[in-house]
Structures are given as C-alpha cells and as structure tokens.
Structure 1
Amino acid sequence: MGGVGRDVLGANPIEELVIPDGTTVREHDLVTDGDVLVGGQSTVELGVRGRSVVAGERVSFDGDIEAEGDCRLDMWCDVDGNVLVEQDAYLGERAHITGRLVVGGDLDIGDDVDIEEGFEASGWIVIRNPMPTITFFVMYLTHLLHLGEEDEAQELVDELATDGDAQPLTIPRSASVSDDAWRVSTPARIGSDCRLHGNIRATEIEVGANDNVFGSLRAQDDVSVGSGTKIHGDVTTRDGDVRVEADAVVLGDVSGDDVYVHPDADVDGVIRARGEMHLQSRADREQE
C-alpha cells in the first residue's frame, strides 16, 4: 500500500493540516506536486497550484487555481482569479469565479454559477447540480473503512491521487491560510524541504527536515522541529513539550513544558521550560 494510502486510510483525510514534502509558497501561490484537499468553510488567501484541487462547500481562494488534473469546487465556493484545469472540472451550485474558467476536458457545472469573464471547455459541458465531491469522498471512504473494505477504499484514494506515493496537501475544515498565518483547530504536519510564509497555529505541530518557515510556531500540545529546519520566529506551546532536532535553527524564543534541544541545534532567543530542560540528542532520548 502506497504512502498516501496509509495516511488517508488511517483517518479522515481532512482532520489535520498536512503540508507534503517540497511544498512552497511562491509569489502568493501555494505550490505542491500532489493533490490539494480543502475542507469546507476554509479561507485560502493564496492561489493554488497542484495536480488535482478539491474544495468543500464555501471555500474561498484569493488567487488563481491551476490544476494539472481535475478541479472540483463544491457549492458556494469563491475564487478571486482564474481557474485553469488541464483535465475535468466540477463546479457546485452558486460557485463564483471572478476571472476566467478554462478546462481541458469536460465541465460539469451546477445552477447559478457565476463566471465573470466567461469559460471554455474542450470536452462536454453539462449544466446541472453536481454532487458535493469532497463530502461524498469523506463519507464514502469512512463507510468503506467501517465495513472493512480496505481494497475498495484504497481504489477511491488512488482516484484522487493517481501517484500512489504522493501525499496530498490537506487543509482542514474552517481553516484560514494566508501569507501571514496558517490557522487550524487540528494538528499540523509539515513535510521536509518546504518553504512557507506565515505563522503556524494548530493544536500540535510536527515540522520535518530542512524546512524554511518564515514565521513562528504556536500550539496547544507538542511541537517538534526537524533537523536542518529554520524557524524565523518563536516556537511555543501552551500545554505540551517542545523538541528541536540537530542543526535546526530557531530565530526566536522556545517555550514549553519539557524542552528538548539537540546539542547541535541553535536557538537564538530565550529557552523557557515550565518543567525540565534537556540538552540531548534523539539517540540519548531513545536510550532513556
């Protein structure tokens, strides 16, 4: 089973913020090699560029959407920009696009959709009320897992992520994403080799290796900073522990209950531990 299967089948795919390896923010665009899943009622104050883009109801995007695969926008979605789709597009009722919609495949469009600068599609155009795709995906996937039908569930996951080894970028319901801050009421998991702008706010935060985050990290529970990662801000938690691995750089303060800092890490500010302060490597911790 591929990596995306393990991650998605283990939980509801939009119950956490997941930023896969190599994701970057470039000139007000969120760019990833894989798919993008956005939970309903979220605000993304960026453009989005990925393979396939799927958004729940009442999601707003402040920029263009560019999808190499399909694009599925549920009802009441709002895009302040153009939507460029190489394959098929599905728009729920009352979706709004301020720019132009260009579709390389088929277009399935709901009632009262407003595309201010017009649209074109190379394939079939069907005007009706398409099913809310992300709602269907989550509910059907949960139902299959409840019945123990893991093979069928994996096939459903593979339809969304055609590359079985690619991790989709997931933004949970009611999230807010911008150049200033990523705010979610769920855990946040950031992969390796990412370049992100904005403060990260989540219930708990795990940051991979060799990332560059131009902002601070703040969580209710545990926070971990991977090796070689640079955080341009504070790393704080209200009720959890903080771990900073080898060669990581924190250009700010570090605060938590128990704080673990690798001897080869560099913390530019003040370290505050409400419990214990540990200056040790991962190997030392595992031997305890």
Structure 2
Amino acid sequence: MLGPNPIDRLRIPDDTTVEEHDLVTDGDVLVGGQSTVELGVRGRSVVAGERVSFDGDIEAEGDCRLDMWCEVDGNVLAEKDAYLGERAHITGRLVVGGDLDIGDDVDIEEGFEASGWIVIRNPMPTLTFFVMYVTHLLQLGEEEEAQDLVEELAADGDRDPLTIPRSGSVSDDAWRVSTPATIGDNCRLHGNIRATEIDVGRGNNVFGSLRAQDDVTVGAGTKIHGDVTTRDGNVHVQGDAVVLGDVSGHDVTIDEAADVDGIIRARGEMRLGSSTDRDAE
C-alpha cells in the first residue's frame, strides 16, 4: 500500500555498489530533504529535496533535480534536463544535455552550459509538489493513479530507485536513517548500517556492521564484515551467509549452512534452522 511519503525508508536496489568515493546504481536516486550524502552519486535520474548536501560529483544519465539550498561539492552532469532550486550551490561545473530550469541566487562556481533552453524562475520545489500531489490523490481515493505517478517518477519502472529518507546520512563510514532499511541482492557497500530495522538480500558484501532497533535479516550468500545486533528485535542469518563478527538479538536464528565468526547472544531463544532463502519465505 502506497503511503503519503514516497521516500519512507532507506532502499538500496539490486547491484548497487560503492566504488571509491561514488555511490553507483542503475536506477534513479531519490533523496529526502535535509540529508547528507558524503559521496558522489551516479545513477539514471537524481532527485533531491531541500537542503541536501553531496560531497562529490553527480552524474545522471537522465534528469537532475536539486531543490532549494542544495549543496554539491563537485561537478554536476545531467545528460537530459536539470532543475536547480533557489540558492543551490555547486562548487564545480554544471553541464546539461537538455533544458536548464534555474531558481534565484544559484551559485555555480565554475560556470555552466546547457544544450537546450535556460529558464530562470522559482517554481515549487520538486519533492514538495510531488508529495502534495500524491497526498491529494490518496485523499480523493485515487490510489491507482497515485501509484502510477510514483512508478512514472522511477523512470520506466524497470529498475527500483535508490531512496534515502529525510534527514538520512550516508558516508563511507556509516549509513544512518531513522526508518527501516532494505538492501537488495548483489550489492557491494562500505559503511555500518544503522536503521530501525534492516532486511539484507542475497549475495551482498557489506564492509561494516548492521545495527537496528527491531528485526534484522541477513540473506543467503551475504557476507557482513562486522557485528549484527538489534536492541529489541530478532535476528535471522539465512542460508550460507557469513557474519565476521558477533550476532545479538532477542530471538536469534542461524541457518545450518550459515557461518558466524563471533559470539552469538540471544536474550530469548537461540535456534539452529534449516537452510532457507528469501524465496522460500
């Protein structure tokens, strides 16, 4: 069921990687307002709410839309259209393959170029308009139309977007959000994951620990280079997953083929389960 906030969790789609100082994904990137991304970003389209800061270049195969007061410590390349809200600041250069829609008092230190039209105005911030419109559709009972709008924002719908919720923080050291976190399959990530609950898919390599308030699931074939802990929830280490650290939770389930290279602490029940994967659940 679609809620009123389309960016309600940290969602990392399949095959996402952190390469040197860049976060790389095949799909779109949606960043909630007042978030900090201490990495460069490479994706299809990049959309950020107000007061988001990026510590690196942005490279978008599609559009790039940065709302008011956004900061980019680097260059911005958009192969299609770009929108910059008022008082956005780019320390490098802006290159746009299509049209450029720009607000007042935008500072681009090394200049810009656009192949299409250049329009200076102050339209409603992208995510503000989008959330207001989706909320209005839901209030009218038009859930199907609202869902279609969300899928349209995620380009052609063939790839899930990477979403960072409002006030999230992403860096090489840690991914910190006050929402649930979902990691797809075959990702390679650097940094500790901190969220209210964490669901990690299959075949991932996470160079950091997992810590949540509620349940934590580690999918088959995933390798966690750190501890897996939860304050109030349960932990399930599935299939042939590997945890290079301690595991701690209320009820802890470790599949027979899984390997934990550390201490297992269960405040409730400790179970040795049969090998399962996410498809079997």
TM-score range, shorter chain: over 0.9
Query: Would the aligned equivalents of 1:108 and 1:130 in 2 still touch at CA under 8 Å?
Result: no
TM-superposition CA deviations, 1:125-177 (whole Å, max 9, x none): 00111221012112211221222213422342233122223211000000110
Query: 1:276: Cα distance to partner?
Result: 0.7
1:1-288 → structure 2 map (5 Å cutoff):
9=2, 12-281=5-274
Between the aligned partners of 1:273 and 1:156, the Cα distance in structure 2 is 44
In the alignment, the residues of structure 2 paired with residue 104 and residue 155 of structure 1 have an alpha-carbon distance, to the nearest angstrom, of 27
Deviations 1:232-281 (A, max 9, x none): 00000000000000100000000000000001000000000011100012
For 2:261 and 2:247, how far apart are their aligned partners in 1? 9
Q: Distance in 2 between matches of 1:55 and 1:61?
A: 10
Secondary structure at 1:138's aligned position in 2? helix
Q: TM-score, normalised by structure 2?
A: 0.96
Per the alignment, residue 279 of structure 2 pairs with none
How many residues are treated as equivalent by the alignment? 278
Give the counterpart letter for 2:118 in structure 1: I
**RMSD (Å), alpha carbons:** 1.6
> Where does residue 286 of structure 1 map in the other structure?
none
* 4+ residue segments displaced more than 4 Å: none
Aligned partners of 1:92 and 1:151: how far apart in 2?
30
Q: Secondary structure at the match of 1:243?
A: strand
TM-score normalised over the length of structure 1:
0.93
What are the ranges of 5 or more consecutive residues in structure 2 without an aligned counterpart?
277-281
Deviation digits for residues 73-114 of structure 1, max 9, x if unmatched? Answer: 000000000000011100000000000000000000000000
CA–CA distance in structure 2, aligned partners of residues 199 and 231 of structure 1: 10
Q: Give the partner amino acid of 2:166.
A: R
Q: Distance in 2 between matches of 1:237 and 1:41?
A: 26
Asked if the contact 1:91/1:130 (under 8 Å) is kept, the reply is no
- Distance across 1 between alignment mates of 2:150 and 2:211: 31
